[in-house]
Amino acid sequence: MLRIELCTWEAARERATPIRFAVFVEEQRVPRDIELDADDRTSLHALAWHADAGVVGTGRLLPAEGEGDRRVGHIGRMAVLAPWRGRGVGSAILRRLIDAARERGDGEIVLAAQIQAIAFYRAHQFVEEGEVFLEAGIAHRRMRLPLCA
């Protein structure tokens, strides 16, 4: 059974950090010194708990920018441990973060999708915009999801 817990960085750090390092630093070769950042302290974090395995995935929702119906949330640092990919963990994390953004009044969500993850985000109704760009040496594309009230 999978459950998604939303929490502060103080509550998430111990469990989210090893997952992010395994996925981003070890698998994708993102420099260790840029993986954790100042946005962690101010973001809402999601932890995906599996009854038999503990925490198997994580993601974060940054504080919204803008005002009123122009509030924009940003989802990032989506990471699922390799043995748990393709089992709905990433989708569950993403849906919970989208719900959290909607609940706080965000009008839309943006994210920087790694090129190989674009189809995943498309399946959740995100739409690509702009050109491909490099972040931490990895090709990304900006994607957007309008939220209905």
**15-67: pLDDT as tens digits:** 999 999 999 999 999 989 999 999 999 999 999 999 989 999 999 999 989 88
pLDDT at residue number 66:
85
Amino acid 148: pLDDT? 72
**Max Cα-Cα span within the chain:** 42
d(CA 71, CA 54): 34
Closest CA relative to residue 112, chosen from 141, 144, 72: 141
Amino acid of residue 30: V
Secondary structure (H, E, C), 5-60: EEECHHHHHHHHHHHHHHHHHHHCCCCHHHHCCCHHHHCEEEEEEECCCEEEEEEE
**Least confident among 34-38, 67-71, 74-78, 119-123:** 67-71
Q: What pLDDT does residue 57 have? A: 97
Query: Which CATH superfamily groups domain 2-146?
Result: Gcn5-related N-acetyltransferase (GNAT) (3.40.630.30)
Whether 118 shows a pLDDT value over 70: the answer reads yes
DSSP state of 39: H
What band does 149 get if pLDDT is binned at 50, 70 and 90? low
Please give the structure tokens belonging to residue 45.
């974090």
pLDDT in tens, 83-111: 999 999 999 999 999 999 999 999 999 99
Mean pLDDT of 105-125: 96
The pTM for the full model equals 0.94
Q: Which of 17, 104, 31 is nearest to 61 (CA)?
A: 104
C-alpha closest to that of 16 among 64, 78, 62 = 78
